[in-house]
């Protein structure tokens, strides 16, 4: 069998050379396999096989994109024209307050514009390792562990007694139970946080702060305490266990704060992110990925820039493709994958994801050299001032620049010249005579 | 006669590149033709004054005058620059901020950037190598240099530079006048200029301090004569007059040695006028206004800016000639690719045709017809370039003198290629190439059988479209070959064959579906074919031989498939043919081995799958999916065959063939429904209503009961949470969560009845009821529409939720809602409740057939309105997205090696789409090896047999 395949592969290579085509690897493989297993061609001689292969190769050839095709415009049009028909649906996930995942144009904007402030609802899909993904209880425990729990979530009331330099809080036993914080844990935390003496009598937690001098300082401390994160990872606003029917496993859906997490992100994150908000979001995701229970290889998020910062440009590129596909699929609109690939390759070209916004931030436009295109896009006077001071040169290589100066555009038939060989005419006429 | 090389016009001047920069004063003086010295514009006779801003050396706009520079009259003279020598220099407002940065970064004594030599050298290297944008290098240099307290080159101390918008610069809290700024900037060596973001040759920073002001040509700021006979000058002229006047006054003050404060005032005024002349929307100074009316004057920046500015309005978009616009109407008799053009348009839009000895007589006849009689001609362009307008008076003489080499601009005629466009032009298919067919009437007529309007997104409720007539042989060829019969317009690049366009739609689909189920008396079958035939058609019904498959008998209808039926009123013994036979007439014989499962009855063993063998539909009922499928098979199999035979580029022919076939097939469908009739009326809905009413009622009652229980339970739980005395974050959240979960459960529960009714309808399909045939065949509408009309409106939703009013207890919006007159109920007719009731929440129990009650009607209208508003926003949003996206991706083009490059020649993809397949031409995901191999084998075996 493999002998036949080798023979066919050899023939195919020869044919490709004759036809001056290079087949994509996958297609070459497929052709070899199909021809080899074809019943009708079992007995075929080399000449017949060669003919069949040549025809196949030529069929590929006529389906190839042609030089000069404006594939960028095709991609843009193919993606934006159906956007007119998109509806904006908001999906509420069962059992979770506050998590809406938008679709339609806002979702498209989220992927293409890479806003610094992140998606309207930033979610992280936290996949778990065995056995946490098998057991709802175990998954729930992980969710509890990471969800940020603030002091105010655990108490009913906070009162400040300025004369005695005391902060008093009424414990909410029910909530403590639900969020899995016990009394000792809480008092220990408060002691460390405030640096004062702390004890519990009945349902009342008393913090005595003899060192604090002014009343305002005390009030401030009480406020800080109110918002202090007792447990979990700061920035994890929500963590709820969901069941994935396809994968037959539990996972944790996390809604992250658009401001990310506290602490200073590692240098490599800050450098890649170039914006502190993005860096802090990436850092939060990194913290989550480093948890022992989490299967870091399958963690995902709806913010492609975070993926780019954390996992590199290839991952970022794939995230853009994947998320674009999701947007269109959820709307029931079919768009060829090649368009998504092109746009994400364009966004990824500069080594970090760049957006299709008009200016600023990670904008692609900012990097394109042509002053005239920029001027015709947005912010005319700013662009002209900047290009004038730096003495830029408009080389007139692009499309819009050439439209502006009134020259034929270098695209499609504009990339080639057609001339007539008049000597042939004369020859023909002479022959006629 | 020996062919001559054609007369080629001198190539127009060619812009190779454009250098941007700041004009140095010497250059401004050099390009100036006149120094403007007086604020006077015209003398008593209305003649432009010498040395004024309208000086005729800067060009003329009045007919009768001649330019004193080039000697040409208005319209020919391109205009020439002048200049104003400023008595004292002023800052260019657009550059002031940059100048401030430069001053902060450099030393006032030696002019060097306040950084060590090594650093400067390093930055210079970066600039020259172009690793990162100059802008960001300059920003870094300024940031670092301004922090230094003294100059590392000469040791001088760094002064404090402050800046007030738009043009005031202070040094150590004292005014730094432009003269001083200029002399400071002059000191900066070229090597340092570079790293400050300026260009040493094209943009020295001191040139941003204006000593000479260029005066734009008169032709660039023409005055207009008002109805009253008064002259109204352009805004720029007004501003220039101001500048000259103040400049003159300043000069006089300087010469007469006026006190410093007065001079400084006048200097500031000069700066103000120059600032607003350039940019009249700049912050920090009052806007300059018209003396009368007070309207803000348009500065130079305002001319360029925005959607109506020079760039977007005149440069990136152009106006065209040889175009027409009119309302469109459909025409089922037109061939696909043919466009009906009104005669009055054809007489106005012309095609230039060069006279040769072979077409001389024909063109002479057209010239003789003149401009009014169709087909005629409007102009003749002689070989020397002179243009003669053809009139009733001169037409004989012009025809007489016509000779080879002239160009005749003749009327648009049948067969001429034209471009047809509908806005918004969102994709390639919005502008198609057509062949002209001149017709009476005033509308453009779009071929309707193979519906050519799909890509345009056009309907005929008053839509207007634009026509463009190409004016050169090259353009005509491109329109014909690339924009017309081309695969792109059957299978748009969006998703290729998955997204078929321009195939029969609507009633044609209904017709084809019914036809494929019909038994037709032989005689009537031939009549149908006769009706499909057009004048001068490639198709001739008399050559068709239909072989009857059965004879009619009394119990015939019992012997055929349950979904088949007999058309007309055949008498016993009359020969019958099937509709499938009739359809097969148009299919080519090589269309073989095609199997497409339909969606109308996919479970049916015999007719759920359409099978085509040797160009005959052996079995199967057609529907939209099958029609699209057949069209796909036609193109791709034809192409594969042609390529396998080594006959070259297949796509034009394949597309043309598919359209030719589908046009006939579509017409047959149309003729069929027209002949035997198809109606969807109240009766059809009533039938469904009567049959399913009880069951639907039951479904509704069940859902309502369940929802009531949910609501009661929800209210109880909400009340519980509410009664708790604390209000911490998690409590509020918990309350919200309960509410949301209950709401979404109620929503889901009440949304179910419609879905259940739909399922009920699906399960009891009656493919003899038109109300089913229409949606099931894919012609139009869906079962949802039928369910809504006949049985149940279902749950209405606003922003994905049941309609509701604000809740009084929802803490975080509490403040906002105190002003509302009522809360906790959808309309004041209901009692207050924590969770809206069922009817109150927009559950529409009735269908349109029965009619909605008032509450239902109101809430139904609410969600209808939401849809309308939503649509409006969507168009605006996606329009902006489109513009941004297209501009960014505009320059991505495939090169000769199949790589994608941008205009800077960066390689964006090494192989387009990784496999270099054009999505418009893909079969399967790229090249469907299985299907192609089938065709290939067929062809190869055929060929071998022949040998
Ligand atoms: Mg319309
Ligand atoms: Zn002139
Ligand atoms: Zn110095």
A263: left (phi over 0), alpha (psi -120 to 50) or beta: left
- Cα A118 from chain centroid? 10
What DSSP element (H or E) covers B293? none
DSSP, residue by residue, A378-429: S-HHHHHHHHHHTT-EE---SHHHHHHHT---SSGGGGS-----HHHHHHHH
Chain A closest CA to B325's CA: distance in Å?
23
B window 879-898, beta carbon within 8 A of A: 881-882, 884-896, 898
pLDDT band at B818; cut points 50, 70, 90: very low
| pLDDT beyond 80 at B490 | no
Residue B134: partners with Cβ closer than 8 Å, 6 or more residues away? A390, B127, B197
What does B342-405 look like in DSSP terms, one character per residue?
EHHHHHHSEEEEE--TTTHHHHHHHHHHTTTSSS-EEEEE-TTS-EEE--TTTHHHHHHH--TT
**Ligand nearest, relative to CA of residue B153:** 3
Q: What are B791's two structure tokens?
A: 């049985």
Would you tell me which residues 627-666 of chain B have a C-beta closer than 8 angstroms to some C-beta of chain A? 639-640, 643-644, 646, 649-651
B 65-94: CB under 8 A from A = 94
Cβ distance of B937 and A418 shorter than 8 Å: no
Domains and CATH numbers, chain B: 91-205 (no CATH), 506-676 (1.10.274.100), 682-852 (1.10.132.30)
The whole-angstrom distance between B931's CA and the closest CA on chain A is 11
Task: Provide the pLDDT for residue B811.
Answer: 47
- Top-confidence residue, B485 or B381: B381
Nearest alpha-carbon partner for B673 in B588, B570, B599, B779? B779
B-chain CB neighbours of A425 within 8 Å are: 3
> Which residues have C-beta under 5 Å from ligand 3, the single-atom ion?
B 107, 109-110, 151, 153-154, 156
Flag whether pLDDT at B769 surpasses 90.
yes
Asked if the model's pLDDT at residue B815 lies above 50, the reply is no
Q: How far is the CA of B441 from the centre of ligand 1 (A)?
A: 20
* Those residues with Cβ within 8 angstroms of residue B340's Cβ, 6 or more apart along the chain or in another chain: B331, B334, B437, B438, B439, B441, B443, B444, B445, B446
pLDDT bucket at B337, cuts 50 / 70 / 90: confident
- Contact (CB<8Å) A394/B17: yes
φ and ψ at B598, to 5 degrees?
Answer: -85, 175
Cα(B196) to centroid of ligand 3, in Å? 16
> B112-157, pLDDT tens digit by residue?
888 888 888 888 888 888 777 788 888 888 888 888 888 888 888 8
Say yes or no for a CB contact (<8 Å) between A334 and B639. Answer: no
Q: Is-contact B42 B56, C-beta < 8 A?
A: no
Q: What is the mean pLDDT of residues B234-245?
A: 90
Q: Inspect the interface and report whether the beta carbons of A55 and B940 lie closer than 8 Å.
A: yes
Cβ contacts from A onto B, under 8 A: 377
CA distance A217 to chain B (A): 24
Contact call for B887 and A373, based on CB within 8 A:
yes
Chain A: closest CA distance from residue B571 (Å): 50
Chain A residues touching residue B898 (CB < 8 angstroms): 64-65, 67
Per-residue pLDDT tens digits for A4-50: 889 999 999 999 999 999 999 999 999 999 999 988 888 888 889 99
Sorting pLDDT into bands at 50, 70 and 90, what band is B1? very low
For the CA of B67, the nearest ligand: 2
Mean pLDDT value of segment B740-768: 90
In CATH terms, the fold of domain A149-231 is: Gyrase A; domain 2 (3.30.1360)
Which chain A residues are closer than 8 Å to B3 by Cβ? 422, 425-426, 429
Distance of CA B58 to the CA centre of its chain: 41
Q: Are A55 and A61 contacting, i.e. CB atoms less than 8 angstroms apart?
A: no
Whether A71 and B912 lie within 8 Å, measured CB to CB: yes
Residue A361 has what pLDDT?
A: 64
Which residues of B are less than 8 Å from A76 in CB distance? 882, 885-886, 888-890
Partner-chain residue, chosen from B478, B482, B884, that has the shortest CB–CB distance to A357: B884
To which H or E segment does residue A259 belong? none
Instruction: Tell me which ligand sits closest to the C-alpha of residue B80.
Output: 2
Percent residues over pLDDT 70 in chain B? 95
Average pLDDT across chain B, whole number? 87
3-state secondary structure B812-861: HHHHHHCCCCCCCCCCCCCCCCCCCCCCCCCEECCCCCCCCCHHHHHHHH
Ligand 1 centroid to Cα of residue B460, in Å, is 6
Tens digit of pLDDT per residue, chain A (433 long)? 568 889 999 999 999 999 999 999 999 999 999 999 988 888 888 889 999 999 999 999 999 999 999 999 999 999 999 888 887 665 555 555 456 667 788 888 889 988 888 888 899 999 999 889 899 999 988 988 888 888 887 887 788 887 778 888 888 887 788 777 888 888 888 888 887 788 888 888 888 877 777 788 888 888 888 888 888 888 898 888 889 889 899 999 999 988 888 888 999 998 888 888 999 999 999 999 999 999 999 999 999 999 999 999 999 999 999 999 999 998 888 999 999 999 999 999 988 999 987 666 688 887 777 888 888 887 888 888 888 998 888 888 888 888 888 888 889 888 887 788 888 888 888 887 7
> Are B788 and B754 spatial neighbours (Cβ–Cβ below 8 Å)?
yes
What is the rounded distance in angstroms from the CA atom of residue B772 to the CA atom of residue B882? 38
pTM of the model: 0.87
Nearest chain A residue to B925 by CA: give it.
Answer: A336
* ipTM reported for the complex, 2 dp: 0.86
User: pLDDT at residue B814 above 50?
Assistant: no
Q: Please give the residue of chain A at the shortest CA–CA distance from B910.
A: A345
Q: Does B344 touch chain A (CB under 8 A)?
A: no
Any A CB within 8 A of B800 CB: yes
Read off the pLDDT of residues B17-36 as tens digits, 9 standing for 90 and up.
899 999 999 999 999 989 98
More confident residue, B138 or B444: B444
Distance of CA A192 to the CA centre of its chain: 39
The DSSP letter of residue B139 is: H
Q: What residue segments make up the domains of chain A, in order of their start?
A: 3-62, 149-231, 368-433
In percent, the amount of chain B with pLDDT more than 90 equals: 44
Taking CA A111 as the corner, what is the angle to CA A109 and CA A117, rounded to the nearest 5 degrees?
A: 75
Using the predicted structure, report yes or no on whether residue B2 has a pLDDT greater than 60. no
Q: Please report which ligand is nearest the Cα atom of B217.
A: 2
Mutate to test the interface with B, among A81, A237, A393 (most CBs of B within 10 A): A81
From ligand 3's centre to the CA of B88, what distance in Å? 27
Query: Which tokens in the block code for residue B626?
Result: 């099958």
For residue A101, the model assigns a pLDDT of: 67
8 Å CB contact between B796 and B863: yes
How much is the pLDDT for B6? 46
- Three-point CA angle B230, B231, B232, nearest 5°: 115
Residues of chain A positioned with their CB less than 8 A from the CB of B2: 426, 429
**Mean pLDDT computed over B683-693:** 94
In angstroms, the separation between the Cα of residue A341 and the nearest Cα of chain B is 7
Report the pLDDT value the prediction gives residue B524, as an integer from 0 to 100. 93
**pLDDT reading at B266 higher than 70:** yes
CB contact under 8 A, A58 and B903: no
Answer yes or no: are the C-beta atoms of A277 and A259 closer than 8 Å. yes
Cα gap B73→B504, rounded to integer Å = 59
**What is B439-472 written as a DSSP string?**
ESSSSEEEETTTTTTTTTT--SSS-EEEEE---S
CATH level 2 (architecture), domain A368-433? Orthogonal Bundle (1.10)
By three-state DSSP, how is residue B752 classified?
helix
Q: Which of B276, B288, B274 is closest to B90 using CA atoms?
A: B274
Q: Do A157 and B494 touch (CB under 8 A)?
A: no
- β-pair partners for B926: B923
**What's the pLDDT tens digit per position in B567-576?**
988 999 999 9
Ligand nearest the Cα of residue B105 is 3
Q: CB distance A24–B923 less than 8 Å? A: no
Mean of pLDDT values over B906-928:
92
Peptide bond into B166 cis (omega under 30): yes
Residue A405 C-alpha, separation from nearest chain B C-alpha, in angstroms: 7
Number of residues in chain B: 947
Residues of A in contact with B202 (CB under 8 A): 391
Chain B: residue whose CA lies nearest to A341 = B913
Q: Which of B744, B878, B905 sits opposite A92 (nearest CB)?
A: B744
Mean pLDDT, rounded, for B659-687: 91
What's the mean pLDDT in B261-270? 89
CB contact under 8 A, A396 and B17: yes
Judged by CB atoms within 8 Å, which residues 96-135 of B form the interface with A?
98, 133-135
Q: How far apart are CA B260 and CA B239, in angstroms?
A: 26
| CB proximity B11 to A under 8 Å | no
- Are B926 and A56 contacting, i.e. CB atoms less than 8 angstroms apart? no
Q: Are strands A166-171 and A90-92 parallel, antiparallel or unpaired?
A: unpaired
Ligand nearest to the CA of B68: 2
Interchain pair A80, B885: CB under 8 A: yes
User: Which among A339, A376, A387 is the nearest to B316, CB-wise?
Assistant: A376
pLDDT in tens, B354-364: 999 999 999 99
pLDDT at residue B100 is higher than 50 = yes
pLDDT at B27: 92
Average pLDDT rounded to a whole number, residues B697-716: 93
Is the separation of the CB atoms in B149 and B159 below 8 Å?
A: no
What is the pLDDT, as a whole number, of residue A92? 54
Q: Check CB contact under 8 Å for A59 and B495.
A: no
Taking the C-alpha atoms of residue B846 and residue B856, their distance in angstroms, rounded to an integer, is: 8
Q: How far off is chain A from B110, nearest CA to CA, in Å?
A: 22
**A108: nearest CA in chain B?**
B881
**419-458 in chain B: CB under 8 A from chain A:** 426-428
Across B524-529, average pLDDT: 94
């Amino acid at each position: 069998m493999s002998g036949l395949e080798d023979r066919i592969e050899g023939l195919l290579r020869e044919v490709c050379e004759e036809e001056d085509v290079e087949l994509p690897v996958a297609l070459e493989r497929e052709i070899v396999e199909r021809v080899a297993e074809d019943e009708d061609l079992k007995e075929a001689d080399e000449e017949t096989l060669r003919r069949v292969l040549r025809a196949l190769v030529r069929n590929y050839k006529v389906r190839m994109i042609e030089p000069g095709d404006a594939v960028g415009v095709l991609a843009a049009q193919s993606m934006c024209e159906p956007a007119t028909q998109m509806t904006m649906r908001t999906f509420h996930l069962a059992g979770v307050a506050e998590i809406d995942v938008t679709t339609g144009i806002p979702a498209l904007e989220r992927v293409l514009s890479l806003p610094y402030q992140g998606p309207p609802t930033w979610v992280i899909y936290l996949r778990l390792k065995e056995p946490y993904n098998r057991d709802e209880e175990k998954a729930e425990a992980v969710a509890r562990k990471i969800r940020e729990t603030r002091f105010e979530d655990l108490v009913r009331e906070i009162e400040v007694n300025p004369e005695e330099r005391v902060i008093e809080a009424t414990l909410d036993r029910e909530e403590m139970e639900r969020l899995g914080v016990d009394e000792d844990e809480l008092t220990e935390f408060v002691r460390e946080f405030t640096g004062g003496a702390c004890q519990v009598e009945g349902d009342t937690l008393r913090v005595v702060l003899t060192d604090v001098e002014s009343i305002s300082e005390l009030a401030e401390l009480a406020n800080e305490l109110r918002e202090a994160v007792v447990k979990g990872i700061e920035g994890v606003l929500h963590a709820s266990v969901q069941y994935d029917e396809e994968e037959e496993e539990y996972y944790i859906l996390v809604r992250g704060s658009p401001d990310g997490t506290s602490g200073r992100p590692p240098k490599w994150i800050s450098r890649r992110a170039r914006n502190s908000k993005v860096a802090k979001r990436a850092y939060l995701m990194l913290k989550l990925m480093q948890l022992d229970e989490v299967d870091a290889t399958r963690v995902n998020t709806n913010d492609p820039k975070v993926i780019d910062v954390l996992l590199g440009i290839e991952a970022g590129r794939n995230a853009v493709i994947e998320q674009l596909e999701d947007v269109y699929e959820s709307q029931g609109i079919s768009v060829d994958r090649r368009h998504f690939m092109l746009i994400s390759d364009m966004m990824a070209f500069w080594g970090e994801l760049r957006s299709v916004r008009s200016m600023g931030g990670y904008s692609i436009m900012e990097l394109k050299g042509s002053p005239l295109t920029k001027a015709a896009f947005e912010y005319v006077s700013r662009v002209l001032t900047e290009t004038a001071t730096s003495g830029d040169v408009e080389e007139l290589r692009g499309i819009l620049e050439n439209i502006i100066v009134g020259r034929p555009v270098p695209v499609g038939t504009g990339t080639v010249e057609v001339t007539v060989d008049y000597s042939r005419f004369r020859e023909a006429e002479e022959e006629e005579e | 006669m020996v062919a001559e090389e054609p007369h080629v016009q001198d190539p127009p001047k060619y812009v190779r590149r454009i250098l941007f920069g700041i004009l140095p004063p010497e250059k401004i003086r050099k390009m100036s033709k006149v120094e403007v010295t007086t604020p006077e514009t015209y003398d008593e006779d209305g003649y432009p004054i010498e040395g004024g801003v309208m000086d005729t050396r800067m060009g003329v706009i009045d007919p009768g005058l001649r330019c004193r520079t080039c000697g040409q009259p208005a319209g020919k003279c391109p205009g020439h620059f002048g200049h104003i020598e400023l008595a004292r220099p002023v800052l260019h407002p657009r550059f002031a901020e940059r100048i401030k940065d430069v001053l902060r970064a450099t030393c006032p004594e030696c002019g060097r950037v306040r950084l060590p030599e090594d650093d400067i050298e390093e930055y210079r290297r970066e600039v020259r190598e172009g690793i990162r944008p100059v802008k960001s290098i300059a920003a870094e240099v300024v940031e670092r240099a301004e922090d230094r307290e003294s100059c590392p080159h000469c040791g001088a101390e760094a002064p404090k530079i402050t800046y007030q918008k738009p043009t005031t610069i202070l040094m150590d809290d004292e005014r730094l006048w432009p003269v001083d700024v200029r002399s400071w900037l002059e000191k900066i060596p070229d090597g340092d200029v570079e790293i400050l973001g300026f260009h040493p040759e094209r943009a020295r920073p001191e040139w941003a301090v204006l000593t000479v002001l260029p005066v734009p040509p008169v032709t660039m700021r023409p005055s207009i004569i008002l109805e009253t006979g008064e002259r109204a000058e352009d805004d720029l002229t007004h501003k220039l007059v101001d500048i000259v006047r103040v400049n003159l006054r300043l000069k006089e003050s300087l010469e007469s040695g006026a006190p410093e404060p007065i001079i400084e005032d006048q200097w500031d005024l000069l700066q103000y006028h120059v600032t607003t002349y350039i940019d009249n929307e700049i912050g920090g100074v009052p806007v300059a206004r018209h003396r009368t009316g007070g309207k803000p004057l348009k500065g130079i920046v305002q001319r360029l800016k925005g959607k109506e500015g020079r760039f977007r309005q005149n440069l990136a978009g152009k106006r065209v000639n040889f175009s027409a616009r009119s309302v469109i109407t459909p025409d089922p008799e037109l061939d696909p690719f043919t466009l009906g053009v009104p005669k009055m348009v054809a007489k106005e839009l012309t095609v230039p045709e060069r006279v040769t000895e072979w077409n001389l007589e024909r063109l002479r006849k057209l010239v003789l017809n003149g401009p009014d009689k169709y087909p005629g001609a409007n102009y003749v362009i002689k070989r020397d370039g002179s243009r003669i307008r053809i009139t009733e008076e001169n037409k004989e003489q012009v025809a007489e003198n016509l000779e080879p080499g002239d160009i005749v601009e003749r009327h648009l005629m049948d067969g001429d290629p034209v471009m047809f466009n509908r806005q918004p032009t969102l994709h390639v298919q919005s502008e198609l190439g057509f062949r002209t067919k001149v017709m009476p009437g005033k509308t453009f007529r779009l071929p309707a059988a193979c519906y050519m309007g799909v890509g345009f997104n056009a309907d005929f409720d008053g839509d207007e479209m634009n026509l463009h007539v190409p004016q050169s042989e090259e353009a005509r060829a491109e329109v014909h070959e690339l924009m017309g019969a081309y695969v792109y317009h059957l299978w748009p690049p969006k998703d290729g064959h998955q997204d078929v366009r321009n195939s029969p739609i609507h009633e044609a689909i209904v017709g084809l579906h019914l036809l494929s189920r019909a038994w037709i008396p032989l005689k009537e079958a031939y009549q149908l074919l006769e009706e499909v035939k057009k004048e001068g058609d490639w198709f001739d019904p008399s050559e068709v031989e239909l072989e009857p498959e059965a004879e009619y008998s009394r119990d015939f209808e019992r012997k055929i498939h349950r979904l088949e039926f007999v058309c007309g009123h055949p008498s016993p013994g009359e020969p019958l043919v099937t509709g499938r036979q009739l359809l097969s007439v148009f299919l080519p014989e090589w269309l073989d081995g095609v199997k497409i499962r339909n969606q109308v009855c996919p479970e049916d063993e015999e007719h759920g799958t359409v099978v085509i063998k040797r160009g005959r539909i052996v079995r199967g009922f057609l529907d939209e999916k099958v029609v699209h499928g057949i069209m796909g098979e036609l193109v791709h199999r034809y192409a594969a065959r042609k390529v396998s035979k080594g006959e070259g580029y297949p796509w034009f022919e394949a597309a043309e063939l598919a359209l030719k076939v589908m046009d006939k097939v579509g017409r047959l469908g149309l003729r069929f429904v027209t002949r035997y009739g198809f109606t969807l009326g109240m009766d059809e809905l009533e039938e469904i209503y009567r049959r399913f009413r009880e069951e639907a009622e039951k479904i509704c009652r069940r859902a309502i009961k369940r929802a009531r229980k949910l609501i009661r339970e929800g209210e109880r739980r909400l009340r519980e949470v509410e009664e708790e005395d604390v209000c911490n974050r998690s409590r509020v959240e918990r309350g919200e969560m309960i509410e949301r979960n209950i709401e979404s459960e109620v929503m889901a529960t009440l949304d179910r009845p419609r879905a259940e009714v739909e399922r009920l309808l699906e399960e009891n399909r009656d493919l003899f009821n038109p109300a089913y045939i229409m949606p099931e065949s894919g012609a139009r509408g869906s079962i949802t529409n039928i369910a809504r009309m006949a049985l149940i409106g279902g749950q209405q939703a606003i922003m994905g939720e049941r309609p509701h009013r604000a809740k009084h207890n929802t803490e975080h919006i509490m403040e906002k809602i105190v002003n509302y007159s009522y809360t906790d109920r959808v309309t004041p007719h209901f009692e207050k409740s924590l969770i809206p009731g069922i009817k109150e929440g927009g559950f529409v129990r009735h269908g349109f057939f029965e009619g909605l009650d008032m509450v239902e009607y109101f809430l139904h209208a609410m969600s209808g309105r939401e849809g309308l508003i939503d649509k409006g926003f969507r168009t605006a949003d996606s329009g902006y997205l489109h513009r941004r996206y297209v501009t960014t991706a505009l320059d991505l083009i495939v090169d000769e090696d199949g790589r994608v490059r941008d205009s800077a020649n960066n390689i964006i993809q090494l192989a387009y789409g990784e496999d270099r397949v054009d999505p418009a031409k893909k079969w399967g995901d790229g090249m469907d090896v299985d299907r192609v191999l089938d065709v290939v084998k067929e062809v190869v075996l055929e060929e071998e047999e022949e040998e």
